[in-house]
């Protein structure tokens, strides 16, 4: 189904350069990982607007806050595990609370970091960041969407957390952010329905969007029509799309490369339990630490494949009484 792979972090780095050429207020900071986060591309073209703070993530956030308070659009990047776990207090106190224009864009999210192992995995960042007032949380599905998302967050005033991946992942969208020939517009807080279906709705984010589309193909072979919705924005959450799905299919599966506790699944469940409770199953990492290995092997072991989504859909349909 997916013929091409591309890196979300590569798309981010390239788009930063494009934005930097037209907006001199954009500054970029990194914590000694610019070759990996791909902010090195910005550093090479705009060295006077790039700041490498070294292995000092708390200082990364504090400096970004200072630059934002002086009117700059500050992009700060590092690995997800370092940006969230080592820079959280500074992000909360110096960025989120005063509502400053800082974009914390991290790479190497989830367990697709692979061989780097548990010390570099980050499966709690969605839960942490969506709990902070004023913070927008975004996880693009592929490289094309990353380009669109990077442009959108540069235009939006206020704190943003955006999580990207390490490996090259399937391209869902065509160049120019098109899907099945249709040109799309990236809107923060608005999901995108990629496949219609009347039996069950799969709500996915990040790399799990591709897995969900594969799952929908397999379900169709079994006579089950699955709707697939890409929730690139976790906060603000597209509540209308969730409630519309609850009314139309009355069966929800969520899919995310994150702990099942507190992430996309938790956010969707909060909406459903208050507004329209329907059967729901969460696909994600089942509250455990993962081992080192190739990301595909890890996805298989920890239940993040299209097959796992198929099983979840069949389970939720049993509860629905199909």
Nearest CA among 189, 187, 203 for reference residue 236? 189
Strands 226-230 and 200-204: parallel
Rounded CA gap, 17 and 245, in Å?
38
**Cis ω before 236 (30° cut-off from 0):** yes
192's tokens = 């995108």
Active site includes 57?
yes
Q: Give me the DSSP letters along 41-89.
A: HHHHH-GGGEEE--S-HHHHHHHHHHHHHTT-EEEEEEEHHHHHHTTHH
Catalytic residue among 14, 18, 57, 256: 57
Q: Where are the beta strands (DSSP E) in 222-297?
A: 226-230, 233-235, 252-259, 280-285
Residues marked active site are found at 57
């Amino acid at each position: 189904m997916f013929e091409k792979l591309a890196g979300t972090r590569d798309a981010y780095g390239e788009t930063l350069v494009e934005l930097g050429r037209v907006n001199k207020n954009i500054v970029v900071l990194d914590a000694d990982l610019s070759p990996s986060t791909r902010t090195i591309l910005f550093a090479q073209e705009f060295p006077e607007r790039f700041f490498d703070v070294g292995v000092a993530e708390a200082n990364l956030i504090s400096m970004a806050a200072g630059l934002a308070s002086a009117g700059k659009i500050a992009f700060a990047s590092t690995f997800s595990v370092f940006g969230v776990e080592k820079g959280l207090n500074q992000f909360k106190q110096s960025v989120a609370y005063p509502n400053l224009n800082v974009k914390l864009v991290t790479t190497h999210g989830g367990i697709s970091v692979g061989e780097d192992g548990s010390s570099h995995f980050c499966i709690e960042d969605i839960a942490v960041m969506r709990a902070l007032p004023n913070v927008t949380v975004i996880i693009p599905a592929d490289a094309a969407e990353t380009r669109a998302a990077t442009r959108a967050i540069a235009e939006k005033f206020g704190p943003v957390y955006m999580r990207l991946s390490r490996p090259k992942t399937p391209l869902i969208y065509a160049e120019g952010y098109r899907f099945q020939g249709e040109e799309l517009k990236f809107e923060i807080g608005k999901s995108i329905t990629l496949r219609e279906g009347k039996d069950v709705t799969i709500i996915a984010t990040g790399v799990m969007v591709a897995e969900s589309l594969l799952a929908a193909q397999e379900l169709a072979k079994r006579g089950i029509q699955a709707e697939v919705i890409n929730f690139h924005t976790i906060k603000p959450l597209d509540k209308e799309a969730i409630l519309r799905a609850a009314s139309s299919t009355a069966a929800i599966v969520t899919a995310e490369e994150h702990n099942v506790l507190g992430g996309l699944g938790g956010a969707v469940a909060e909406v459903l339990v208050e507004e329209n409770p329907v059967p729901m199953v969460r696909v994600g990492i089942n509250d455990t630490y993962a081992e080192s290995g190739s990301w595909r092997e890890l996805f298989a072991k920890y239940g993040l494949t299209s097959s796992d989504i198929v099983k979840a859909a069949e389970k939720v349909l049993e509860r629905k009484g199909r």
